[in-house]
Amino acid sequence: MKKIIAIVGAAFGAAGQRCMALSVAIFVGESKDWVNDLVLEAKKLKVGCGFEEGIDVGPLITPQAKERVCQILDKSGGTTILLDGREGYDDGGNFLGPTIVTGVTPQHLCYQEEIFGPVLLCMTVDTLDEAIAITNSNPYGNGCAIFTQSGSCARRFQHEIDGMSFYLSVAK
């Protein structure tokens, strides 16, 4: 469960508006089953004014930032939005709840653009080789992490990854 909480915090903290926010998670093999737990945990987050007690996700910086995130999501056909943070926050503010999108490929606009909002894009692959290839071909160069119980997978990741903003989740 710690890995789920860590992923949720990295994706939705600061409303996803920090450079090191987790924007894409690549799930390798059986770790794709973690997505449902991510949705359940993200639903627990409270959205609202950051000055209020108990708020987990504050507003986006401007109305234009919120509109940009919504437009990218609208133009990312062929994906599935498992948790839609646009729902319930149309109050004229800049609020957008946690959003989890699956079925994402490098061809989707949501993957090609840096979203800077509380949106987690989920990709699934069968092998660590595929995950490393996707990560290394991404044009953005941010932080990168791996959740695994395999020392050899962690070592390969450490030596072969170019350092992008992804979590690779390997359930072994």
Domains of the chain (ranges, CATH numbers) = 2-170 (3.40.309.10)
Q: 3-class DSSP state for residue 134?
A: helix
pLDDT, residue 164, reads 46
pLDDT, residue 72, reads 96
pLDDT, residue 165, reads 43
User: What sign results for the dihedral spanned by CA atoms 12, 13, 15, 19?
Assistant: negative
Q: Going residue by residue through the chain (172 aa), what tens digit of pLDDT does each one get? A: 888 999 999 999 888 888 778 899 999 999 999 999 999 999 999 998 878 899 999 999 999 999 999 999 999 999 999 999 988 666 668 999 999 999 999 999 999 998 899 999 999 999 999 999 988 888 776 667 788 888 998 888 888 887 544 455 555 4
Q: 3-class DSSP state for residue 78?
A: coil
Asked whether the beta carbons of 123 and 136 are under 8 A apart, the reply is no
Tokens, residue 52: 């209020």
pTM of structure: 0.89
Tokens, residue 18: 């920090």
Asked whether the beta carbons of 143 and 1 are under 8 A apart, the reply is no
Q: Among all residues, which ones are annotated catalytic?
A: 19
Q: 3-class DSSP state for residue 61?
A: coil
